[in-house]
Structures are given as C-alpha cells and as structure tokens.
A = this chain, B = another copy of it.
C-alpha cells in the first residue's frame, strides 16, 4: 500500500486527515474502562480490552470520513505484551474497514536489526517453510539517526510489498531544534536528512510523483514545512502537531502541492478526547470524535486546493 493508495483515499474523501489512535487510561470513557475492570480486575489486560473497544468505536465513527488512522505504538507498549496484542488487533479492525494504517513506531537501528524491524512491521518472517506476516501495517515511521544503512532495509521491504515509510525529518516538539536545526555546510540537519531521503528513494516514484519514502514534518514549524515542501518535491509528508499541539489549517496549507496532494495531517488528542469537552462522561465519545474530525476536514478543505 504505497502512498498512491493513501493519496487516492484522500482525494476520494477530499480529506487528508489521519486520526491518531493514542489511548491512555484517562482518555477512555469511564464506562468502558469500568466494564473491562469488572471483568479482568485492574490489570493491563483489562486496560488493553478497554483500548480495543474504544478504538473500534472511534474507527466505526470515522471510517467513512477519514482515509487513515495512526496508532502510536508507545501507548500500546505501555500496557506490556497485552497492549501490543491490541495494537495488532486495532490494525486488523481498521484494515477491515478500508482504512490505511500507519504504525507510528519510530523504529531505527543498524542494518541487520533494521531488517528485523522492517520484517516485523511491513514484511514477513519464515518459520520452517511458512511465510508469516507479524504485523503487516501499510506504512510506518522510522528514525533515521543511524544513517542510510539503517533506512535501506525499510525501503527494500516497502518496494517488495507495496508499502511505505515516513522518516523523521523535522519533528513537532519544542526541542526538535537541539539536533535537527544544527547548521552544517550551509544546511540544517533536517535538510541533510531530507536530501538523503530523496536520493535514496528516487527509483520508487508513484503516479502522483511521490516516492515510497515520506518525511515527518511538524505542523508546529510552518516556515520549515514550507521550505521543505519546496525542496523535497518527491517526498510525501506526514504532518503531526495539528490540534492539541497547536498547529492550525493555515500552518499546514503549505504541506500540499498545487493539486492538493503530497501530505497527510495527523490529529490525535483533539479527536479521540473530543468527548471530554462535550461534558457527558463519554457516552457520546464516538459522535464527539466524528464531529471534531468533520470540523478538521472542513478547516483543511478551506485551505487545500483539491481539484
């Protein structure tokens, strides 16, 4: 599922939103958590079951208006192995509803280990004579600090299995400047990373002109986003930081090309915690999420030139 598939879903819905499925215990309405605690006690397994019910409700409410979801692995790993089990079940449920699923795992390692990660999340492993697909996400996020031999295994698997990756370039957090903005030979570090990604992926272009190697560029840095869009013309962008982190529609407008292609905008807490503003103890969490996602869609439509 290269970015062509994602781009087609975006164009069909005229909505470049990806909803971040990033649960924490207090993001789940109490009636759901209580139900599972009454079944399995105050355990990681009970919380994992509650996350799954919450996720399914969100997916059901959003699946006809958004093209993609992005579960953040950290929040599932926080429940130990039981959480990782639900991470996989959430993928399967979302895929069944026709959604494109980006695993936000930010993995990265030396070549041989990066091969194992790419096999885990995008590819396969052979046990005896049987090829098995451990997670099989459509795309994942990658941390490229280890350099090109840590990135290439993910590209190879993406080409083999029609997948895609997003490598961290300029992240949305306040201290992303510490390392990403250091200046070297006239370029900032994030530009050095972005330029290498374009070089590594030039043979993987799809029909919208984008390669299989995307970049994570935060909505919270609109100037850098604009600069990188103009420079990295073949690189699809995953833009986090919309909503709860402070980015707005005008901040992300420059992430798109003249046809309204080339980027997907993530919002997590603003959508999945929308029920907290509705004041009804979460019984309406799905409707609240849908309402917020429609609002975001309309905001984005107002600044993006969809044809």
Contact = CB atoms under 8 A, between A and B. Distances in A.
Interface string A135-179: 100000001111111100000000000000000100111111111
A42 B128 contact: yes
Interface in A72-95: 72, 74-75, 77-81, 83-85, 87-88
Number of copies: 2
A182 interface: yes
Interface string A261-295: 00000000000000000000000000000000000
B189 A175 contact: no
A5 interface: no
A183 interface: yes
A108 B107 CA distance: 9
Contacts of A147: 171, 173, 175-180
A263 to B, nearest CB: 19
Contacts of A246: none
Given A83-B134, A134-B83, A145-B143, A117 B77 contact: yes
A206 interface: no
A1 interface: no
Interface string A169-199: 0011111111110111100010011001000
A145 B168 contact: yes
A303 interface: no
Query: Which of A87, A110, A189, A193 neighbours the largest number of chain B CB atoms within 10 Å of its CB?
Result: A110
A193 B175 contact: no
Contacts of A179: 144-145, 147, 189, 192-193
Interface stretch (A61-69, A119-127, A231-239, A250-258): A119-127
A179 B197 CA distance: 12
A277 B42 CA distance: 49
A12 interface: no
Contact of A47 (B22, B88, B127, B146): B127
A13 interface: no
A109 B176 contact: no
A24 interface: yes
Contacts of A80: 88, 120, 132, 134-135
Interface string A89-116: 0000000000000000011111101101
A171 B146 contact: yes
A220 to B, nearest CB: 10
Contacts of A174: 111, 149
B171 A182 contact: no
B173 A150 contact: yes
Query: Which of A46, A75, A179 neighbours the largest number of chain B CB atoms within 10 Å of its CB?
Result: A179
Contacts of A33: 128
Nearest to A149: B175
